[in-house]
Amino acid sequence: MELDLLVWLLGAFFLAAAVFGVGAVAVAAWTATRTLDRLFTAVSPVRTGSASGIRDVEAHLATLASAPHVDSGVVRAVVPEARRGHGRLLARVRRTPGVRFDVVLPVEGHETTLPVWTPLPDRLTGRTEFERVAAACGVAPERISDAVGEEVAVKRLDDRWVVGAPRVGTPARDDSARSWVTETDRR
């Protein structure tokens, strides 16, 4: 009788262990599937939206269509300014001399000033940021104070303004005038 009871208890234990194991495997598989599905959804190149999503897109495009178009600004000031660099410790401590061009953009309702800082070059090669901004302003690099009051082409790229973009219908003077320079560009 004791052996019979021991066999039944052992069988019940193995049955319970099998049910628990199957349940644990099912939960692990469900969790892994959900995790992988979310991962693949996050990295997938295409996401399909809903009907309310298309209304949001249309509202955004209507806002863009009603926004004023700005393709030029006026240089309000040319100011010598030294800035700390980014990167290694010595670059952060040392200040780099440069020039800040304050370009006023005629945005409806208020004026927006776009500061464009360029480092002073060691020599004039025709390919430095400083020379590109000066060319976009229509002045020689050695006469940058003449840039005040000059109209300069600007363009909106993503969330920043770019100075030196060619205006539509305006023939560019040379390749350096078409270069785009922003405050965030540092070479």
Assigned token pair, 119: 């480092």
Q: Give pLDDT, residue 162.
A: 78
Residue 105, CB-side half-sphere exposure with 13 Å CA sphere: 19
Residue 89 burial class via C-beta count within 10 angstroms: exposed 0-12, middle 13-18, buried 19 and up: exposed
Per-residue pLDDT tens digits for 9-33: 999 999 999 999 999 999 999 999 9
Q: Structural domain boundaries of the chain?
A: 2-48, 69-178
Q: Look up residue 68 and give its DSSP letter.
A: P
Q: Which of 5-14, 34-43, 94-103, 110-119 has the highest mean pLDDT?
A: 5-14
Q: Look up the pTM and report it.
A: 0.53
- 103 class by beta-carbon count within 10 Å (0-12 exposed, 13-18 middle, 19+ buried): buried
Helical segments of 70-179, H only:
89-93, 129-137
73 phi-psi bin (left φ>0, alpha ψ -120 to 50, beta other): beta
